[in-house]
A = this chain, B = another copy of it.
Amino acid sequence: MTTQQILLAAKAAAPSLLTLTTDQKNAALLSMADALERDAPNILQENGKDMQAAKGSISPVMLDRLRLTPERIKGMADGIREVASLPDPVRVLERMERPNGLVIEKTAVPMGVIAIIYESRPNVTSDAAALAIKAGSACVLRGGKEAFRSGFAIVKALREGLKEVGLPETVVSLVEDTTRESSYELMRAVGLVDLLIPRGGAGLIRACVEQAKVPCIQTGTGICHIYVDDSADLDRAVDIIENAKASRPSVCNAEEVLLVHSAVVDQFLPALKKRLVDERTAAGLVPVELRLDERAAAVIDGTPAGEKDFDTEFLDYILAVRVVDSVDDAIAHIAAHSTGHSEAILTRTEEHANRFTKLVDSAAVYVNCSTRFTDGGEFGLGCEMGISTQKLHARGPMGLGELMTYKYIIHGNGQIR
């Protein structure tokens, strides 16, 4: 089917989800999970073909992300069951009784059709479909071409589960065209796509900002900053920065830039270098490469930072370091260089903490802890469909609530105005 046909079918099928009870929705999810496990042999076979085709053309890390095993499929099915156990996001948010007797209920309701563009991890296919169904929306999935056979086999299984409970299979679809054109088609499908979520690199996000005519939520890119204030607890600061930078450098909530108050550089930077470089090397861990501005380089050894080091999401064991003279300097640097994801201040001065949290314009602003907590699970949302770095509709980790729109349902008994 063409992408347009798939979108039309999804739009036509979406209303069938609007009249389901919570129990019926959960039954559909459990049926999808069971079908996924039952179809594991076929999914593994198709995944094997994807692996074979991708070998040599993608990195070993990417190849590992692409690989499915019986355990991983079991994990995907359990993930769907977990979504079934979450509270139904369709609910009355606010109830107002007006003096004229009108009862106004602001009610969270499904979006309609949610399209998701993502890369090669096959588990995203089942995760995204499960969240969309729980949110009462049909979904149109556009995965990476490396994972197409795996994705197709997964969607085939999920659709069998849907059919078994009497739902139209077109509430979950995978786009068949894996060229770039299908992403653009989704971005331009005004009236057919109610929400587009691009999950991917900076290039995809930029293309969406430039091209999308449908409602879109930008996710992901994180140039996260930690600012060490002159009153920071420096011992804790070393722990926090090692965690934020080196516990999992490939994720979007990892720290990329360190800002240090000039009053504490002489004491702090040597301690930091000792921990991030010397001790990690001695312990057989990957050391962190420090890219230092001139003032930092006057205190410790490291790589001289180029200007673009302060505008790069390294996703690697690399940390750009700049010396600043005040909390306001740190705030100004962040305003000029941040992607609006997560930033932290380490300080014992309440006034500085307040100024930082008020003036830094990012989804998550931390005081005295690691930036690594920006995550649906860590925030207690129970699940996550990505991390929004935009200000409209959803910001930060997106759970089920952020996949909903709302409408006002008003009951009267003849009121006129």
Contact = CB atoms under 8 A, between A and B. Distances in A.
Contact of A396 (B194, B357, B407, B414): B407
Contacts of A410: 364-367, 369, 373
A82 interface: no
A383 to B, nearest CB: 15
Given A380-B96, A417-B378, A373 B102 contact: yes
Copies of this chain held together in the complex: 2
A359 B18 contact: yes
A414 B369 CA distance: 5
Interface residues of A, number: 66
Interface stretch (A72-80, A319-327, A386-394): A386-394
Interface string A124-145: 0000000000000000000000
Contacts of A243: 416-417
Interface of A: 15, 18-19, 96, 98, 102, 104, 111-112, 190, 194-195, 209-210, 213, 215, 217, 233, 236, 239-240, 242-244, 247, 335, 353, 355, 357-359, 361-370, 372-374, 378-380, 390-393, 395-396, 405-417
A109 B361 CA distance: 9
B415 A373 contact: yes
Nearest to A346: B414
Given A98-B378, A233-B414, A365-B407, 5 more contacts: A217-B392, A239-B414, A366-B411, A373-B415, A379-B408
Nearest to A18: B358
B369 A102 contact: yes
A132 B395 CA distance: 20
A396 B364 CA distance: 28
B236 A391 contact: no
